[in-house]
Amino acid sequence: MTKIDTNVAALKSLHHLQRNDENYSKAVERLSSGKRINNAGDDAAGASIVNRMTAQISGMQMAIRNAGDAISMAQVAEGALVEVSDVLQRMRELGVQAANGTYSGADRVALNQEINQLKNELLRISETTSFNTTKLLDGTFQDTQFEIGFDETPQHTHTLTIKDVSPASLGIWQINSQLEKSATLSSVAANGAAAAITVSSDHNFKSGDIVTYEKGSSPIPGLIPGQNYKVGTASFAATTFSLTEIDGTAVTYGQLSSAGYGSGTGAKFHLATLAGAPNVAETGGTAAASNVLETEDLTIYGHVGQQTANITVGSTAQQIANSVNNITSATGVYAAAETNARITFSPADVSSKYETVSFDLFGMNTSAIKVTASVNVGTADGGLAELSDLRDKINGISGSTGITAQLSADKTYIDLFSPDGYDIVIDNFDFPQDTAPAQVSASINASAANTNDTITSASAHGFKQGDVVRLTSIHNSENTLAGLSLDTDYIVKTTPSSTTFTLATGSLTGTTVDITATNAQALTFTKALKTMNVQTMDQDKTLKGVPVELTDKDLGSDETPNRTDNLRITGQVTFNSSNVFTIVPADTTNNTSIFRDQPPSAALTKISEMNVLTVKSAQRMLSSIDGALLSVDAERGTLGATMNRMQYTIDNLSNIVMNTQVSKGRISDADMAEESVNLSKSQILQQAATAMLAQANQSMQSILDLLR
């Protein structure tokens, strides 16, 4: 080589020396940082991947912390709900205690004081439970989001709502069936007139007989032709037998008719069947029965889902409830059925009493079971009815009927319970009277307030208390007898002297007219089955030769005849859910739904409104508390699910972070062994390149010899 302008060997040596320097620098950097990628130049794509992974890892690590905070918050809320549940359990225990009939009103007041304090504690817990100053149980913790991922996608967000657990928000959501009517039924005339007749012949009228005053030429003012009347006494006023809901609302019914006993206003006896849609006669007017069940499909929209229940004609409340409960798993709504009624005897100015009451009782039994009990109503006991014997007789057959009776503390009314929702049916109802019977009117609104008419005779007439007569004709029209009408049935009322008898149509008030032989009229009274001719009204039993025909019904002993009536108390179905729900019937246009119109919205029976002051209110509180416990349990379940989910979230995120870090390390971390080899190699090559560069530079010195 004789050229000196370009030292090729030196250039090559320099090039390799520079490369060795770069490799040495990289090896030193990687070995010192432990990273394979220290800048984008090392691996642009790898650097981008590593950067995204770094963001993902840091986001997931924060999400793990968020999930841990969510667990802590849920633990605080769930711990408070445990106390809420304990309080509700204590309230329920007190409710069961107060529902026992052995407790007096004062006892229940004491129990209710603790109930009120427990309500206050529930309110305090709901208002003060918080996490990092955030209230948890007062209803303001709504749709709170927890970020449990590394980006904004919905899958990385958990939303939590905790319901209000104050007493005003806890309870049970209910929709009640509306097989009920608020009509007040009465089977007696509001007012009436009486006519007194004294005759001198033997008559066989008996207490409780029915007479009809028929047409004639001399009507008696105030008495209605064709109207039935029963014997009464002036001292006997109205005695009421009634059945109502225990809480004061109307009993449920299908078809209604009415009958009753009493000589004044207010006597009433509810009757019901479950067929047809008739009108119901009542004091003061008419009320239509509009909710007679035929066949209905109820679509229930619950918090779980929707489903249709088929309700068939003639179903009892329990059968309807069973139809709803069969689809509870699909709707989240369950039904409870119960049938309750209250028996009350409410006398007013009573001078006599009922000795016995008897009726056939049906509940879950299909064959009649006779109930016969003593019912004392009269001045001997202050005008109050003593119903303990009736209570005992009903409870004595409760194993067969499913109906229990509970006597009030003052023993004046009985509450009937059919907890399984069977219809309570009372048939062949009879309560005879030991002295004077009350008037019974076939017309609800019939009313008359007129005069009394008296016929005086020379001897005892022989009519019996309670006999019923009908004036069929008047053969002598002179001196019209005021207060009597033809073709009208009258009840005989006899005086202690047995010289007069009274034909009563209502209250025994008014004037009297003495009928003597000079102005007397020949009267014909008729009664079924037995005829007794009274020829005269004087001692020799002649009255101007005009016969008086008397037809008498042979009733045997002197007592009120049996009354055969039928009463059906249909239970109410209550639809329950721990959440708001709706019910849609298939058709309500023909009044065939168990609901009056469209079903009402579900209403919350609140804990704050509950008390244990009565047996019924204590029982209702149990239902409300059960609903509250369901709500609290649901909230605890939600919080428990949240805690479990957050724990699984933490575990999953930790696993993802670990694997992502491993993946990131594979991309970005330096292989220390490899880099050590590279370092050694670059060091040796660097030394060699330096030596060779020196040799290359030295090789040009030989050219100088040519110049010497």
Give the pLDDT of residue 116. 94
Residue 544 falls inside a structural domain: no
360 DSSP 8-state letter: E
Residue 85 falls inside a structural domain: yes
Going from the C-alpha of 345 to that of each of 349, 369, 431, 507, the distances in angstroms are 13, 22, 11, 20
Count structural domains, the chain. Answer: 1
Q: Are 692 and 41 in contact (CB under 8 A)?
A: no
- SS3 for 699? helix
Instruction: Report the alpha-carbon distance of residue 553 to residue 529 in Å, rounded.
Output: 5
- Helices 8-33 and 672-699, packing angle to 10 deg: 160
Residue 106 falls inside a structural domain: yes
DSSP 166-227: STTT-EEEEEE------PPP--S-SB--EEEE--SS-----TT-EEEEE--SSPPTT--TT-
What's the token pair of residue 194?
């009486």
What's the token pair of residue 171?
């309870």
- SS3 for 311? strand
Residue of 80, 225, 207 lying closest to 138 (CA atoms):
80
- Provide the Cα torsion 244, 247, 248, 254; round to 10°: -40
Instruction: Report the alpha-carbon distance of residue 31 to residue 34 in Å, rounded.
Output: 5
Residue 200 falls inside a structural domain: no
Q: How many residues does the chain have?
A: 708
What's the token pair of residue 680?
């050694």
- The two beta strands, 210-214 and 285-288, are unpaired
- With a CB cutoff of 8 Å and minimum separation 6, the contacts of 364 are 400, 401, 402, 418, 420, 422
Going from the C-alpha of 26 to that of each of 23, 34, 666, 668, the distances in angstroms are 5, 11, 18, 14
The secondary element (H helix, E strand) that includes residue 362 is strand 356-362
56 DSSP 8-state letter: H
- Residues 603-615 as b/e (b if ≥16 CB within 10 A, e otherwise) read ebbbbeebbbebb
Mean pLDDT by 10 residues, the chain (708 residues): 76 87 88 88 90 92 94 95 95 92 86 94 94 92 89 83 90 65 29 33 39 44 47 27 40 30 26 29 30 57 76 70 81 75 56 63 82 65 63 87 81 76 73 39 25 32 47 44 52 43 38 32 34 27 27 30 44 63 56 52 80 87 89 92 93 94 90 88 87 83 74
Residue 127 falls inside a structural domain: yes
Instruction: Report the alpha-carbon distance of residue 230 to residue 211 in Å, rounded.
Output: 7
Instruction: Report the alpha-carbon distance of residue 677 to residue 542 in Å, rounded.
Output: 156
Query: What CATH number is associated with residue 161?
Result: 1.20.1330.10
What's the token pair of residue 365?
């039994």
Q: Are 639 and 136 in contact (CB under 8 A)?
A: no
- SS3 for 317? helix
Give the pLDDT of residue 227. 52
Range of the domain at 616: 53-176+610-656
Instruction: Report the alpha-carbon distance of residue 225 to residue 238 in Å, rounded.
Output: 24
Give the pLDDT of residue 402. 85
What's the token pair of residue 593?
């739904």
Instruction: Report the alpha-carbon distance of residue 697 to residue 168 in Å, rounded.
Output: 100
Give the pLDDT of residue 580. 59
pTM of the model: 0.51
Residue 373 falls inside a structural domain: no
DSSP 239-294: EEEEEE-TTSSPPP-SB--B----SSTT---B--BSSS--EEEETTEEEE------
What's the token pair of residue 387?
């119903």
Residue 361 falls inside a structural domain: no
Residue 7 falls inside a structural domain: no
Half-sphere exposure of 408 (CA within 13 A, CB side): 18
DSSP 92-118: HHHHHHHTSTT--HHHHHHHHHHHHHH
Phi (first) and psi of residue 415, to 5 degrees = -95, 125
